[in-house]
Structure 1
Amino acid sequence: MEGAMKNICMFGFVVVLVIVGLGEVNGAGECGRANPDMEAFKLAPCASAAQDENASVSGSCCAAVKKLGQNPKCLCAVMLSNTAKSSGVKPEIAMTIPKRCNIADRPVGYQCGAYTLP
């Protein structure tokens, strides 16, 4: 009886692990199925504007930010991603790009980690 109970518990544990694993594969992250580190490459035109608040923001940067900004959670995850950090992006400056692009429907006041989108 005790052996059967152990087998049932082990089977239940394996089922839970499989369900959790499948949920991660389907992509329930901030950017859906996309990885924020990979999405960060789309913001390459914003590199200088994300490091220097006085740098001009290019049209291609604004277009990329506007597209990603349709999902504020994704934009936040991308701006705080390891890829962004390793390329020298300063999150406190990167958060100002939507405003510097004059994006009217930007997520004003959105909390992004320790930062707030102005």
Structure 2
Amino acid sequence: MSFHTKPCLVFMFVFLVATRVCIQQVDAAGECGRTPIRSAATSLSPCLSAAGNLRAKVPPTCCTKVGALIKTAPKCLCAVLLSPLAKQAGINPAIAITIPKRCNIRNRPAGKKCGRYVVP
């Protein structure tokens, strides 16, 4: 190898490694971590009826999913609630925010703000 080629190859290798690290950090930077918000929202589909009707019984599968999300990524739940996907699905955020309480989830982030809504 010539004298100038070797430093160039070393620089390119370092650049590629650094770029890969930056891309991985960006992928995990959202409220839902590495899970795309669409997937997180889809996982909460058992909650649809309860998210639009305050009198509707919250299905146990919904409570399980919400409880797991609160435990692992509480900001993700808020992001899903305020997402355009929720609006498209006809979810009423003022009603949906009550689901953790209606599920009797003890470790819910009561008093935390989610947009203009407060977790009861």
Is the pair's TM-score, using the shorter chain for normalization, greater than 0.5? Answer: yes
* Aligned partner of 1:100 among 74, 90, 102: 102
Alignment partner of 1:69: what SS? Answer: helix
Identical-residue share of aligned pairs (%)? 50
Q: Residue type of the partner of 1:36?
A: I
Q: Residue type of the partner of 2:31?
A: E
- CA distance in 1 between partners of 2:74 and 2:111 (Å): 11
Uncovered stretches (5+) of structure 1, i.e. residues with no partner: 1-14
Alignment partner of 1:53: what SS? Answer: coil
Give the C-alpha shift of residue 23 in structure 1.
Answer: 6.2
Uncovered stretches (5+) of structure 2, i.e. residues with no partner: 1-14
Partner of 2:33: 32
Q: Does 1:72 align with 2:74?
A: yes
Measured against aligned partners, the alpha-carbon deviations of 1:33-74 in whole angstroms (never above 9, x if no partner) come to 112222100111100100011110010010010011112111
- CA distance in 1 between partners of 2:74 and 2:26 (Å): 22
Q: How does 1:82-97 map to 2 (within 5 A)?
A: 82-97=84-99
Alignment RMSD: 1.8
Give the C-alpha shift of residue 109 in structure 1.
Answer: 0.7
**Which has the larger share of helix?**
2
TM-score with structure 2 setting the length: 0.76
- CA distance in 1 between partners of 2:87 and 2:25 (Å): 24
TM-score with structure 1 setting the length: 0.78
Partner of 1:63: 64
**Count of aligned pairs:** 101
Q: Is the 8 A contact 1:37 1:81 kept in 2?
A: no
The structure with more radius of gyration: 2
- CA distance in 1 between partners of 2:84 and 2:68 (Å): 20
Partner of 1:110: 112
